[in-house]
Structure 1
Amino acid sequence: MQFLFTWLITAISLLITAYVIPGIFIKSFFAATFAAIVMGVINAIVRPILILFTFPLTFLSLGLFLFVVNAIAFSLVSYLTPGFSIDTFWDALFGSIILSLVSGFFGQLLEPKE
């Protein structure tokens, strides 16, 4: 049940992010839900490998390079998802920040009570 909850929050957050950032386009809610699944796979498999390889840069930048890693992962999601596109790297960077904020906000606001 928690998986479905997180999946829907991520899909809705993607739609809100696409509405806020003009360079991000999502054709439908189905594309957003599919992108949420792809994002989960990318964040579970590819992102840790990117973090491992970019650890020296992340260490030297005091963690700020993680924003770039998140933007790369976000761009990879758009590349692998039909109906979801990002125009520029800056759109991916700001989009990943907005997505994190919106998803975290909705996750806290709508968190199921135990």
Structure 2
Amino acid sequence: MSEERNPNRTQDAPSWGKLFLRFIISAIVIAIAAFITPGFRIEGLWGVVFAALAISIINYLIERVFNFDASPFGRGIVGFLVAAVVIYISQFVVPAMTVTFLGAIIGAIVIGIIDMVIPGKTI
């Protein structure tokens, strides 16, 4: 009966559990990318958590303001470059994170490859 009152309600709205799981997966993927990418470094567990949070928020803002999927392979080369810029900008928000622009590009490639293997949206 509640579905009849609110016909605009979507069945696919993510629950808090799904959002939390996506965040944890994102943090793991970002930690792996930082570990294996030269020029991309995050110090400590809290640094990884804050980096995942900053990247997620910046990505969300880009999606809302520009109506654009900023995942590494979401929109081809443009999506890949936007993902690299998001990674690069995040270092100015997260003190435990340092990344060169080349490191951000390589990190976007690594995150994109890992994202193809691990289900769920990462960046």
Aligned partners of 2:65 and 2:84: how far apart in 1?
Answer: 14
Which residue in the other structure is 2:118 paired with?
Answer: 106
Note the alpha carbon deviations across 1:48-91, whole angstroms, 9 max, x for none: 64677xxxxxxxxx94233222111111112211101102x221
Which residue in the other structure is 1:57 paired with?
Answer: none
Comparing both structures, which one devotes a greater share of its residues to helix? 1
Higher relative contact order, structure no. (Cα contacts within 8 Å, ≥ 6 residues apart): 1
User: Larger radius of gyration, structure 1 or 2?
Assistant: 2
Q: Percent identity?
A: 22
Deviation at 1:38, TM superposition (A): 1.1
Aligned partners of 2:116 and 2:91: how far apart in 1?
Answer: 21
Structure 2 residue ranges without an equivalent (≥5): 1-16, 69-74
Q: Which of residues 35, 48, 68 is equivalent to 1:19?
A: 35
RMSD: 2.2
Task: For 1:1-114, list aligned pairs within 5 A.
Answer: 1-46=17-62, 49=65, 63-87=76-100, 89-107=101-119
C-alpha distance 15-101 of structure 1, shift in aligned 2 (>3 A) = same
Residue identity in the other structure for 2:80: F
Which secondary structure state, in structure 1, belongs to the residue aligned with residue 41 of structure 2?
A: strand
Corresponding residue pairs, total: 98
C-alpha distance 10-28 of structure 1, shift in aligned 2 (>3 A) = same
TM-score by length of 1: 0.73
Aligned partners of 1:93 and 1:2: how far apart in 2?
Answer: 28
